[in-house]
A and B are shown apart, each in its own frame.
Chain A
C-alpha cells in the first residue's frame, strides 16, 4: 500500500513536470494554480496564455500519457499471465502490429486519429494478431518462451511489412507522412475529448483483471493446477484474449506503436511485489503511467524543438531490458 502511494505521488509529480516543460517553460507552481482553478474554482489564474497552454494543450497530453502507459502495463501483465511467460507484451507478440495494420488501413481512408472507426479497427486487428500468434506458437495453451517470441516476431514483421506497403502505396503523401509519425508512437493529437475512450478501456481492463486476480495467480501455474484450484483456465484465457486486445487496440488507436512498456514495467514491478496479481496490477498500472509521462518529457526535450517519436525512446530504453530478460529466462529454463 505504501509503495502504491509513493508510486502515485511520483507519477503525479511527473505529470506536473511534463506540463511545465516545453517551448514556453511554466513554473510548477503556475501549473498547479491552473489545475486548482479549473478543478476547485479558485480564482488565482496566472494569465490566459499560461492557462491555455497548461489546460488545453499540455495537460491533456500528459494525461493521455498516463492512460497509455497504464494501459500498456495492464495489457502486458494480462498477456504475461495468459501465455504464462514474462517475455510477453503487446509489442513482442505482434499484437500492436496487428492493431497498427488495421488502424492504418482505416486511417489512410481519411479518418482522423483517435476516432471510433480507428479504435474498433485496432481492437479487431489486435484480436486477430493475438489469435494468430497463439495458433502459430501452438502446444495446447502453454507457449514455450522461445517459440512464442519467434512466432510473435515473425508475425510482427509480416504485419509491419504490410503496413509499410499500405503507407507507400497511398496516393496521399500528406496522410502517409502523418500516419508514419503516429505509427512510431506519439501523444501529439491529445485533446480532452480524446481521453474518454482510453480512460474507459483502462478502468474496464484493470477492473476486470483485479476481479480475476486469484484466478490469474492460479493460471500462472498451468491449466491443470488451476483446475485443481477450481478455475477453468480455458474460459479465463479467452476472456484475457479479449481484454488485452481491447486495451492494446484502444491504446494503439490513440498513440501508435509504443514498444516494450508492457514488457518492462510488469516485470520490474514483479521484483517488488511478487507475482500476486492483486498487488502487481495496481502498482504496475501506476508505474507504467509515470514511466510513459517521463518518456514523453524525454521525447520532447532530447532533440528540441523537434519531437522524437515515443516508440523510439521506449525501444532504446526497453530493448536492453528485454535482452537481459531473455538471457536470464533461458538460463533459468536449463
Chain B
C-alpha cells in the first residue's frame, strides 16, 4: 500500500490553498504533515479521503486515482480520523465503531461486524466498551473510539487530522504510540512539533507548498522552523530517546519578559545543551535551572 500525490492543486474561495504538492507515503511509513494554520494541511487530507475534489493533480492510493474510484471502494482502502463527527450523538460505542463496516456492506449484527468491532476496540485499549455511550466518554477515549472506527474499516491507508488536539500530554503520547504500533501506512497532520519527532518522515507545508521533506532530524531545524512558523527555535536532543525537540520563543517575548536570574543570551546563540527535566519556571530562591528558554507548554 502506498500513497502518491502528484501536482495537487486546490483552490478555495479564489485562493490556492494547495498549490502544486508532490508527496509520497511508502508502505508502512508514518508521515507527519506539519505547517502553520492555513498552510493547506487539512485541505490536502480532504482530497485523500475523498471529501474534496482537487482542481488539478492526482491522489493515487495503491496506484489508483482516488477520484476515479467509487466512494465505497475508496473507503475500503482509506480510513480517516477527523476532528468532526466525534460527538457520537446517541450511538453507543459498539454501534459507532460498527459504522466502520459500512463500506463492506455489512449490516448491524453480522458476526463479522461484531468480531471486527471487538478487535478494533481491543487494539485501542477499549475492549468491552461496546455498550457505553459515546457521548459519555472522555476526550481521550473518544479519540480512541474514532480510531477504532477507522480500524474496523480494515484500511490499508490511515489518515488522521490533528488527532492529538484537545488531549492532555499523556493521551497525546499514547495516541501517537498507538498509531505507530499499528504499522499501517499513515499520513497525519500535527500541530505539536514535539510529537512530530515521532514520525518516520515529516513534510512541511507553507502557503500550500512543500517547503521541507525529510526525517524529523532533517526537518526540525531552527532555520526551517523560523522560516515556516516565524518563531525562534532551539533544537535540543532528548537525553534518553535521542530524538530532536524544539524549544520556542519569539524576540518580542524575550525582550518583554527577560529572564531575571540569568543574563539574557542572544536569541541567535547556539542552543543550550539538553538538560534532563528542567524544573518548573517558578520564581523563587532556588538556584535557577540551566535551561533559559521557557518551553511552550
A residues adjacent to B (C-beta < 8 A): 214-215, 217-218, 220-225, 227-232, 270, 274-276, 278-279, 332
| Bound CA span A51–B95, Å | 49
Chain A CB within 8 A of B54 CB: no
| Bound CA span A71–B169, Å | 51
Q: Which chain B positions have C-beta within 8 A of A231?
A: 71, 102
Instruction: Please classify the interface of chain B as helix (H, G, I), strand (E, B), loop, or mixed, using the class held by over half of its residues.
Output: mixed
Do the beta carbons of B99 and A230 come within 8 Å of each other? no
Do the beta carbons of A218 and B99 come within 8 Å of each other? yes
Listed A/B pairs (15) with beta-carbon separation below 8 Å? A214-B102, A221-B89, A222-B85, A223-B51, A225-B82, A227-B51, A228-B50, A228-B150, A229-B102, A231-B71, A270-B90, A275-B90, A276-B95, A279-B108, A332-B135
| Bound CA span A278–B102, Å | 13
Within the complex, which residue of B75, B92, B108 is in contact with A228, where a contact is CB–CB below 8 Å?
B75
Within the complex, which residue of B50, B80, B89 is in contact with A220, where a contact is CB–CB below 8 Å?
B89
Do the beta carbons of B95 and A224 come within 8 Å of each other? no
| Bound CA span A274–B46, Å | 30
| Bound CA span A225–B102, Å | 12
Please give the distance in Å from A237's CB to the nearest CB on chain B.
15
Q: Which of B40-63 contact A (CB under 8 A)?
A: 46, 49-51
Do the beta carbons of B102 and A217 come within 8 Å of each other? yes
Q: Which of B67-124 contact A (CB under 8 A)?
A: 70-76, 78-80, 82, 84-85, 89-92, 95, 99-100, 102-103, 107-108
- Interface contacts beyond A228-B79, A278-B108: sample of 5 additional A-B pairs, CB < 8 Å, sorted by A: A223-B51, A224-B51, A225-B84, A227-B51, A228-B49
Do the beta carbons of B84 and A232 come within 8 Å of each other? no
Within the complex, which residue of B74, B85, B89, B92 is in contact with A230, where a contact is CB–CB below 8 Å?
B74
Do the beta carbons of A224 and B90 come within 8 Å of each other? no
What string of 1s and 0s marks CB contacts (under 8 Å) between B163-196 and chain A? 0000000000000000000000000000000000
Q: Beyond A232-B71, A274-B91, is A225–B103 a contact (Cβ under 8 Å)? A: no
| Bound CA span A297–B153, Å | 49
Please give the distance in Å from A273's CB to the nearest CB on chain B.
10
Please give the distance in Å from B44's CB to the nearest CB on chain A.
14
| Bound CA span A279–B71, Å | 25
Within the complex, which residue of A217, A270, A274, A332 is in contact with B99, where a contact is CB–CB below 8 Å?
A217
| Bound CA span A275–B73, Å | 25
Q: Which chain A positions have C-beta within 8 A of B72?
A: 230
Residue of B nearest to A231 (CB): B71
Q: Which chain A positions have C-beta within 8 A of B50?
A: 227-228
| Bound CA span A225–B51, Å | 9
| Bound CA span A222–B82, Å | 11
Instruction: Please classify the interface of chain A as helix (H, G, I), strand (E, B), loop, or mixed, using the class held by over half of its residues.
Output: helix
Q: Which chain A positions have C-beta within 8 A of B91?
A: 274-276
Residue of B nearest to A273 (CB): B90
Please give the distance in Å from B152's CB to the nearest CB on chain A.
10
| Bound CA span A215–B85, Å | 14
Please give the distance in Å from B102's CB to the nearest CB on chain A.
5
Do the beta carbons of A228 and B82 come within 8 Å of each other? yes
Q: Beyond A231-B102, A274-B90, A274-B92, is A214–B75 a contact (Cβ under 8 Å)? A: no
Within the complex, which residue of B70, B74, B102, B150 is in contact with A218, where a contact is CB–CB below 8 Å?
B102
Q: Which chain B positions have C-beta within 8 A of A223?
A: 51
| Bound CA span A230–B150, Å | 12
| Bound CA span A176–B91, Å | 48
Within the complex, which residue of A220, A222, A230, A276 is in contact with B84, where a contact is CB–CB below 8 Å?
A222
Do the beta carbons of A229 and B100 come within 8 Å of each other? yes
Residue of A nearest to B78 (CB): A228
Q: Which chain A positions have C-beta within 8 A of B73?
A: 230
Do the beta carbons of B46 and A224 come within 8 Å of each other? yes
| Bound CA span A214–B101, Å | 10
Within the complex, which residue of B74, B84, B100, B107 is in contact with A224, where a contact is CB–CB below 8 Å?
B84
| Bound CA span A214–B110, Å | 13
Q: Which chain B positions have C-beta within 8 A of A222?
A: 84-85
Within the complex, which residue of A228, A274, A278, A279 is in contact with B80, where a contact is CB–CB below 8 Å?
A228
Do the beta carbons of A229 and B51 come within 8 Å of each other? no
Q: Which chain B positions have C-beta within 8 A of A221?
A: 84-85, 89, 99
Within the complex, which residue of A218, A224, A274, A275 is in contact with B82, where a contact is CB–CB below 8 Å?
A224
